[in-house]
Amino acid sequence: MSNNRENSEKDKEFSSKLDDINTKLDKNYLTIKKTRIVVFVVIGIVAAVAVFGLVDEQNPQRPDVYTDTGHFVVENLKGETITESASWNIYEGEFLHIHILESQYVTESRTNVIRNAIMSEDKFSKDSEKIYSGWFGALKDLSDNRTERHMPYNIHFDVVSKPVGNVIIELTNNRNPDGYSGFTKLIVDEKHNAILNAKITIFEIEKLSKAELETIAKHEVGHAFGLPHSKSKQDLMYRQVSTQYGFISECDKDAMTKLYNVKLSGEFDCH
Ligand SMILES: [Zn+2]
């Protein structure tokens, strides 16, 4: 009996030691589990930073300006919104008057940026393609080819105190309720498929850098010539404007040719 009691006490001691060990093991196991989770989370964060960092590096000129859909509106003479665009129907040698409406926001520097977007004749080579800084250079080159309607490259650009002209550009520091940077409205004689006048508004002007203003002006003036949006993200006339593609491309020239041959309908494609 005494032996048995001794044994039973030893058993108890042993089992309590065993419990101790088990508890310690459990704790260690939990610690290991926690450590693993922490390691996984850290690896995840490091990987995410690395991936996004790389993407960023590969894409250093991320688009920094966006306008959005619906900022180009075509209206007929009844004031109804129509889906088809149109072109200017001017006689040979006739001037298209593109005027900026005077205001406190029309500084000399902004006027020069917009003048450059419209009147520049500079051209460059990019991936064996000829690209243009301004509409005048591009349209003048195009005017060598015969189109059904004359390319509106005879442009008179000026700052005016009253809203007179074929295309009126207004600069404002107001925010567009839908957040657009630029807005162009064409009034069109639907019967003759001809643009009668165009009104461009550029919003939140004081927030725009020179490059942003120049790109937005170029895009909106493209609409003022009648161009709809391009389906290509890498194009000036894409519905979201990026300074990275702030030039007039062969694609835009082709679209102008089709438009002035009265053969362009809907969005155009570059590739
Ligand atoms: Zn647009």
pLDDT given at position 58: 40
Q: What distance in angstroms lies between residue 219's CA and the mean position of ligand 1's atoms?
A: 6
pLDDT given at position 247: 95
**What's the CATH number of domain 65-260, 3.40.50.150, 2.40.50.140, 3.40.390.10, 3.50.50.60?**
3.40.390.10
Tell me: the pLDDT tens digits for 45-60? 545 545 444 443 344 4
Q: Which two tokens stand for residue 122?
A: 């500079």
Q: Does the pLDDT at position 1 exceed 50?
A: no
Q: What distance in angstroms lies between residue 29's CA and the mean position of ligand 1's atoms?
A: 61
Q: What distance in angstroms lies between residue 83's CA and the mean position of ligand 1's atoms?
A: 14
pLDDT given at position 51: 47
Domain boundaries along the sequence of the chain: 1-59, 65-260
Q: What distance in angstroms lies between residue 227's CA and the mean position of ligand 1's atoms?
A: 9
User: pTM, whole model, 2 decimals?
Assistant: 0.75
Q: Does the pLDDT at position 3 exceed 90?
A: no
Q: Does the pLDDT at position 7 exceed 80?
A: no
- Judging by beta carbons within 10 Å of its beta carbon (0-12, 13-18, 19+), is residue 176 exposed, middle or buried? middle
- Measured from the Cβ of residue 53, the count of other Cβ atoms closer than 10 Å reads 10
Q: Among residues of the chain, what percentage have pLDDT more than 70?
A: 74
Q: Does the pLDDT at position 38 exceed 70?
A: no
Q: What distance in angstroms lies between residue 138's CA and the mean position of ligand 1's atoms?
A: 19
Q: Does the pLDDT at position 210 exceed 90?
A: yes
Q: What distance in angstroms lies between residue 85's CA and the mean position of ligand 1's atoms?
A: 12
